[in-house]
Structure 1
């Protein structure tokens, strides 16, 4: 009971997590092992999809339960408005309920966001162990694996209509977060301040437009990658037919 109380504490301290330290490298190694396993061993499986969906959704439920109970920066940090949180929710719904458009949006945002977050984690100011740290890495690892599964195993493909929906959704999100952040002083989507410091000297509008442009370019790249993967799989099926 004392351990659980400590794990779910709400008194901020400082983050003792060292980027590219032993713990970080171990987590990255686990992430890579999971990718290799999925690519080499997994076939399309509804059971596996449901397991991934349950983990993703449970992680989010536990995280927001803590934010609600602790009241720790509930408005500025505790809303499901970061890229990866939205991607986790959409991917979890998509995998568990087999919703195609949710998988598509979630896996594209998820692969971009999970790789970025795992390589350069931005953690809440708590000494390990804390629920936010555990939730962060579980959520992003399973988001990474889920995205890899959807794109490279299930081989989901975007139609022109899907691509338009995702681009509209993404740009509306970024514009909304730009306005919302400047109203309440939050940094959802990192649309106000860069977590790595690059671009923070720019005019806020210029910085926001650059983030939007980069994300749109990444979506186009992901679409090209997914189409190529689909084409490769089709060619393999013809070869072995």
Structure 2
């Protein structure tokens, strides 16, 4: 238990392929579970409580461990999305972050960005809990409360660009790498302006892609309803 909450850094853990595969398999299961339970208020309540507890716990630990502002602010795309999906009222902004939450939930499981502590550490275990909760609550919102017709491609690109430009400014002030604006994972590019282009283009494309999927699914569902 002491090691679980330890503030002594070790190294970024390497996840075995089998465990990584099992974690990835959780996503389609959560999609099915959310589809089945989308109209049950208790299902949303459970995940909302889980996400709320995750955020309280992790930021309490950040404060206790005295992490610098370069690491402890809730300014990664998914962290921002967690607060918006959990607390914001339905609207364009919540629709956008719900789409981003689905994208971010998948990307986070494909390439987890661990903290430099052992694998079974509060930061790394709660990394999965938080992103699973974000994924589920984003799906729930998109299935039940979103109005994606108002979220046009131009607005998606503008919002993504505005967020990323703001993150570059914050990174310059704190020395952080929020949103991977200063150094991208895998590619390792350290030019913030090139990263701005890469991350904005990638996220905008993926958000638009997820939006199209949900709109097509809704259209088919409405056609089936009319036919029956």
TM-score of the aligned structures, taking structure 1 as reference length = 0.84
Tell me the residue number matched to 2:21.
Answer: 25
8 Å CA contact 2:96–2:151 kept in 1: the answer is: no
Report which stretch shifted further, 210-219 or 104-113. 210-219
Residue 71 of structure 2 aligns to a residue whose secondary structure is coil
Counterpart Cα distance in 2 of 1:80 and 1:115: 19
Could you report, residue by residue, the CA deviation over 1:131-189 in whole angstroms, capped at 9, with x for unpaired residues? Answer: 001110101112222223333x4263323267766544332211011122133321100
Q: Which runs of 5+ in 2 are unaligned?
A: none
Which residue, 116, 132, 135 being the options, matches 2:126? Answer: 135
Q: Which runs of 5+ in 1 are unaligned?
A: none
Which residue, 24, 38, 42 being the options, matches 2:37? Answer: 42
How is 1:143-154 mapped onto 2 (pairs within 5 angstroms)? 143-151=134-142, 153-154=143-144
Could you report, residue by residue, the CA deviation over 1:44-93 in whole angstroms, capped at 9, with x for unpaired residues? Answer: 22222222211112111111000011112x30111000011111111122
Residue 180 of structure 1 aligns to a residue whose secondary structure is helix
Question: How many residue pairs get matched?
Answer: 227
Counterpart Cα distance in 2 of 1:50 and 1:162: 30
Residue 69 of structure 2 aligns to a residue whose secondary structure is coil
Counterpart Cα distance in 2 of 1:103 and 1:48: 19
**106 and 208 in structure 1: CA distance in 2 versus 1, 3 angstrom threshold:** closer
8 Å CA contact 1:56–1:89 kept in 2: the answer is: no
Which residue, 74, 78, 81 being the options, matches 1:80? Answer: 74
8 Å CA contact 1:52–1:92 kept in 2: the answer is: no
Computed over aligned residues only, the root mean square deviation of the Cα atoms, in angstroms, reads: 2.2
8 Å CA contact 1:7–1:129 kept in 2: the answer is: yes
TM-score of the aligned structures, taking structure 2 as reference length = 0.89
Residue 111 of structure 1 aligns to a residue whose secondary structure is helix
